Amino acid sequence: MSLNNIEEIATFIVADGKGILAADESNPTCGKRFDSIGVDSTEENRRDYREMLFRSKGMKGNIGGVILFDETIRQSAADGTSLRDVILGQSSLPGIKVDKGLQPVEGCPGETVTVGLDGLDGRLKEYASMGAKFTKWRAVINIGEGIPSDKCIDENMQALAEYAKCAQDNGMVPVVEPEVLMDGNHSIDECYEATDRSLKSLFVHLEKNGVNIKGTILKPNMVTSGKDCSEQAGVDEVAKRTLDCLMRNIPAELPGITFLSGGQPDVRATAHLDAMNKIGGFPWKLSFSYGRALQAPALRAWEGKPENISTAQDELSHRAEMNKLASLGEWEEKFEVR
């Protein structure tokens, strides 16, 4: 793949309906997922699981990039091939999560800011030397009584912008992830307002920091009801409200928006993405950057057993293919029946 600059890399990742496989779970998070299938979270088991995902036939043509965790980008497959090269062999690009997690926002109970700017330039230089082509930083915005506050939003978006500029200065595409959490009983209106405020602040800060929007990918939440809300918005309402919020805030030169699934069931996340692309009328690619919504069926099928690898890979391949169709506005629910 001859990709000469960050604009070409960003465009490649979301070209032709492709999206991103988020495989950047921290070891504790991976441990929780392995607990659900009764598998010990050893380094070897984590390596075997991710190798299984990356070698799935459905990676090719459907997945433009894979976000990795620090441990994974350093690992080699069982045959000695680096996992980075396994990904490249599927015509996909390796990326890396670079934030250092959350800490409380001073004076703002219940709110957090993402940290990791200290030492970031050095970490990025190392990852670039290892072949990473893009990076990811996640900000977390909670909805609750009196929150999110302007202070929380602005501190998180300023950090996202500083990270994005640093990534670009090191020749890598920044994926900027301002996630308004689904946790809570808030309405879709409250999610819309928090998402609108977050995106508005983000693009102000990106511009102030001199970030090249053409070499950036946005990874936002969809505008949904809180998962504990008694009135859940339907697929069409989610699609319309999300698109309206994006059209108000996102510059046309952004190459791609790759949604996070945020805990949505896998088929529902696909349906929401498809509904937006069927509406159409926007200037950017609308695609996916799913973790659980791509991995969950494969994880359940795998169970840590070598004899289940082929079945698990078929599950990952199916979800990747379904989400590519959704990114093109060509998915139908009947395609889920196998």
Among 18, 133, 165, 219, which one carries the catalytic annotation? 219
How far are the Cα atoms of 39, 231, 295, 298 from residue 309, in angstroms, in the given order? 14, 39, 13, 9
Residues contacting residue 119 through CB under 8 Å, at least 6 positions apart = none
| HSE value, Cβ hemisphere, 13 Å, CA-based, for 5 | 5
DSSP bridge partners of 82: 76
Which burial class, exposed, middle or buried, applies to 57 when counting CB atoms under 10 A from its CB (0-12, 13-18, 19+)?
A: middle
Query: Encoding tokens for residue 220?
Result: 């936002």
What element of type H or E holds 95?
Answer: strand 93-97
Determine the Cα angle at 126 with ends 295 and 177, to 5°.
45
Of the candidates 164, 145, 166, the one whose C-alpha atom is nearest the C-alpha of residue 156 is 164
- In angstroms, rounded to a whole number, what is the distance separating the alpha carbons of residues 62 and 19? 7
- Dihedral sign, Cα of residue 227, residue 230, residue 233, residue 234: positive
* CB-based contact 316:62 (threshold 8 Å): no
Residue 219 falls in the annotated catalytic set: yes
Among 111, 155, 177, 179, which one carries the catalytic annotation? 177
Residue 111 falls in the annotated catalytic set: no
- In angstroms, rounded to a whole number, what is the distance separating the alpha carbons of residues 85 and 155? 37
Q: What does the DSSP 8-state code read for residue 224?
A: -
- In angstroms, rounded to a whole number, what is the distance separating the alpha carbons of residues 95 and 172? 9
φ and ψ at residue 103, rounded to 5 degrees: -140, 155
**Letter for the amino acid at 222?**
M
**Letter for the amino acid at 276?**
M
Q: Which residues are annotated as catalytic?
A: 177, 219
